[in-house]
Amino acid sequence: MSVEMDQEHVQAMRQLSQKMDAHAVRQALSVDSVPEESVARVLVLYTGGTIGMVVMDKDGGYAPKPHSMVPKLRSLPLFHDDNVAKKIMTPEEQERFLVLPKLSTQESSRVAAKQKYYIMYEVVEFDPLLDSSNMNREDWIKIARCIESSYEEFDGFVVLHGTDTMAYTASALSFMCEHQGKPIILTGAQIPIYEVRSDGRDNFISSLIIAGGYNIPEVMLCFNEKVFRGNRTIKYDSSSFTAFTSPNMPPLVSMDIDIHVDWPAVFRCGDTEKFCVHTNLCSNVGILRLFPGITTDTVKAFLQPPMQGVVLQTYGSGNAPSNRADLMTLIHEATKWGVLIVNITQCSRGNVSAAYATGVALENAGVIPGGDMTPEAALCKLSYVLGKAGWTMEMRKKMLARNIRGEMTVHVHDTSSIMDHDLIEGVARTLSLSTRAEVGSLKDALYPNLLCAAAKAKDIPAIEKLLSSGADVSAVNQDGRTALHVACSLGNLNIVSFLLGKGASVHLKDNRGDNPLIDAVLSKTIPVINILVQTGARLPWKSIRIAVSLCCAAATDDLETIRAWHAAGADMNSADYDSRTALHIAVTCNRKEIVKYLLASGAICLAQDIFGMSPLSVAQKLGHTDLVKIMCPHGPAPEQATLPNSEEPAAVE
């Protein structure tokens, strides 16, 4: 703490802060006030693996040691800065969270367009800690549910995982996590982070920075200064720090001196549903690799019930021996009796195509082409699709052939945009820019503002042109605002729906700490608020700040603002610094309609402010008998009532 305070005073202040939020606690305890938008919160799930292992025997063998990671991380200055923790966190938060050293202005500008100086993170350790070779579907489900239960509280998620099956877990989570709007990053190490030589330190810190500083709504895998799409990775080297690669797709992020994000390549779900996880995974799936001379009996045994889905690894661009009528007949029979078979290549790079007659023969036998999916992605996708109980067989086949999480390359004709060629190149010529890097930097600078301008002008064709030429739908301008912020501030449902359909993030906060939902509330547009909440938006303001706005609305008879806050999920019992609620103010100002609405929305007439007054007692003292009857339509109120999360009953005068 920054001032001397005796224990009794500290205890009194903490009791006073029971109804206050974390920001108010920081002020009361003289903790430095840090803008909320400059702090990111990341949840770290430590499942096991080499990254956290310690030497457990005299021969130098590594093994996981329960409950040792957090104490060790606290002792390493790279992973925890105690001075920063005291500056930005309450005492309770210091017990729960660790925090990276403050990022410099230069570094934070590399982390994100909107600066994040502080990365706070909480480590949740699994019990037992697992070697990734022992991972199974139940462990994938456990990880997914942990993320789901904490999704609203954190800005991003990091999963510490063993390397052997990390690509499988990354692929599985990419399908299990539906309507994802926040980053989930898996990482690990070839050497534990506590060793003098370790790749784990860079992998872990890089993952924390990306998870906290970037809004990349994908499941990713971070290793050796590269961040890959999770369902595009394979482990291809067991003895190198470059353990993982993405054979058919470049990295999403390159962690060089500057951090480079391939924003046009970021996969966005583009729907308006809340985040959820699908945990019903089919276990009756497997991988069958063809080889010269494979017998019919081998294939027949593999395709027998209870097998429901098979990843068939074929030669080259998806070829199988078409002169083996026995095999083709058997495969055709299996697809007819309901086994889903997906064809992928045995090659590390390349995709399945019907360029040869041998490939056409498989498609004619009912085999589904799997494009350039990795074996890990194809297997996990089969398990996910077969677990969708409400899907018909035709729907499952359709979804297996479709790119649903960025797991396969979709080949489309290259299209040019007038925005790209006329405007960008015209400005580049004016500024005497010539290199590809310079023109790329110009696009990064112009696109966010052009998107915001197009949203303000309600010009959907212009937005489409910008997106088709490589603009990021969630790109932020110099104020940290996106096109979705602008559309919500105007209350334009058509533009908002269009942007959400293109994958715009409802979670991004501008430089004031406001997400698009705040803009929608301030514009008092209920339909826009509803679609944002449906998509998973949550109010970023502290309850005490919301309470001030509600109280002001009640004082000025602004029922529409109160309706907007309620639609956005605000608690109508939020209290200001004097513990006064909007109902207190509405009663004091004799706002009958607002009192009725607040009561119908869950406001409590017995909530006491810091002076011990409830809205009911205020109405009684002021002689507002009509309001007393509204609050107590069935006669006198009970003598005592207890508020939610309150330890003491509130007495009614």
Active-site amino acid positions: 50
What string of DSSP letters covers 256-315? SSSEEE-GGG-----S----EE-------EEEEE--TT--HHHHHHHHSTT--EEEEEEB
Rounded-to-10 torsion of CA 624, 625, 627, 630: 180
Q: Are 232 and 371 in contact (CB under 8 A)?
A: no
Enter the tokens of residue 630.
């509204």
Q: Give the whole-angstrom CA distance, residue 66 versus residue 505.
A: 37
71 preceded by a cis bond (ω within 30 of 0): no
**DSSP E strand stretches across 118-265:** 118-130, 156-160, 177-178, 184-187, 219-223, 226-229, 234-235, 244-245, 253-255, 259-261
Q: SS3 for 98?
A: strand
Identity of residue 416: S
Q: Are 206 and 162 in contact (CB under 8 A)?
A: no
Enter the tokens of residue 621.
């003292």
Q: Which of 587, 604, 525 is nearest to 551 (CA)?
A: 587
DSSP one-letter code for 64: -
Q: Give the whole-angstrom CA distance, residue 318 versus residue 314.
A: 5
128 preceded by a cis bond (ω within 30 of 0): yes
Residue at token pair 């998620």: 157
Q: Which of 634, 635, 620 is nearest to 587 (CA)?
A: 620
Q: Kind of pairing, strands 650-651 and 640-641?
A: antiparallel
Q: Give the whole-angstrom CA distance, residue 237 versus residue 348.
A: 13
Burial readout 627-639 (b: 16 or more C-beta within 10 A, e: otherwise): bbebbbeeeebee
Residue 356 phi/psi, 5-degree rounding, is -120, 160
Q: SS3 for 449?
A: helix
Q: Are 618 and 584 in contact (CB under 8 A)?
A: yes
Enter the tokens of residue 525.
């547009």
Enter the tokens of residue 268.
């966005």
Q: SS3 for 464?
A: helix
> Dihedral of CA 231/232/235/240: which sign?
negative
What string of DSSP letters covers 536-596? T----S-HHHHHHHHHHHHHTT-HHHHHHHHHTT--TT---TT---HHHHHHHTT-HHHHH
